[in-house]
Amino acid sequence: MAYRQTDKVAARLAETRAGILDAARGLVAEGGFAAVQMSEVARKAGVATGTLYRYFSSKEALCREVFREVSSREMGKLAEIALSDEPASERLVEVLRTFAGRAVRGRRLAYALLAEPVDVNLAEERAFFRRTHADIFARILEDGIENGELPEIDVKIAAACIAGAIPTALIGPLAPQSHELDRNADRVVEQIVKFCLAGVGITLAAGAVNTRERRTVA
């Protein structure tokens, strides 16, 4: 007779898996992916090390799942903003501030996701999510061009530039040995936002968004 997993067993397995991911994510937030050791993850999750390997075949597999989970969560927040009914200029500003602002507030985890030296598997995940970031920016830029808020630009190139500029600009400030964000966190975020907006023909001044077409979003 074939074994059939009951709902209760399935729920318990899912709960254990979630606990393992929570423990691993906590270690990444404290010390980056280099801090993830299977024995320590097991201890924090309250399971035996052998049990850990029933869910994840290796540290690499576990780290990859943590990367996907956290990145997907962050991406979902940006995508939700991008799909709102606000004018494209406002959505772009909000996505930029959200992206950079959340990175600044969760600096150690953000550094691990954006800049920490990683193996080829995590590098592939990082590249995938950077492309997804670019798709989110491209969607907003296309809307802005279509409705006349933004000047005509090469959307694909502009979106890729923005998606690459933000992590690059944050590498130094987010680095564990840096103290820049202790003093200038808000300024770092605003400078990133202004630079990215200027690249697509928008200037940010006096709390308003102004395009080169002289249209203003209050």
Q: Where are the alpha helices (DSSP H) in 32-178?
A: 38-45, 49-55, 59-82, 88-105, 107-114, 120-146, 155-174
Q: Is 137 helix (H, G, I), strand (E, B) or coil?
A: helix
Q: Are residues 92 and 154 in the same domain?
A: yes
Which CATH number belongs to the domain containing residue 141 in this structure? 1.10.357.10
> Over its length of 218 residues, how does the chain's per-residue pLDDT go in tens digits?
455 668 888 889 999 999 999 999 999 999 999 999 999 999 999 999 999 999 999 999 999 999 999 999 999 999 999 999 999 999 999 999 999 999 999 999 999 999 999 999 899 999 999 999 999 999 999 999 999 999 999 999 999 999 999 999 999 999 989 998 988 999 999 999 999 999 999 886 544 555 443 333 33
| Distance (Å) of CA 118 to CA 34, 163, 175 | 9, 19, 15
Distance, in Å, from the CA atom of 153 to the CA atom of 197, rounded to the nearest integer, reads 13
CATH number of the domain at 13, please. Answer: 1.10.10.60
β-strands 208-211, 202-205 pairing? antiparallel
Q: Which of 57, 77, 105 is the last residue of a domain?
A: 57
Counting the structural domains of the chain, the total is 2
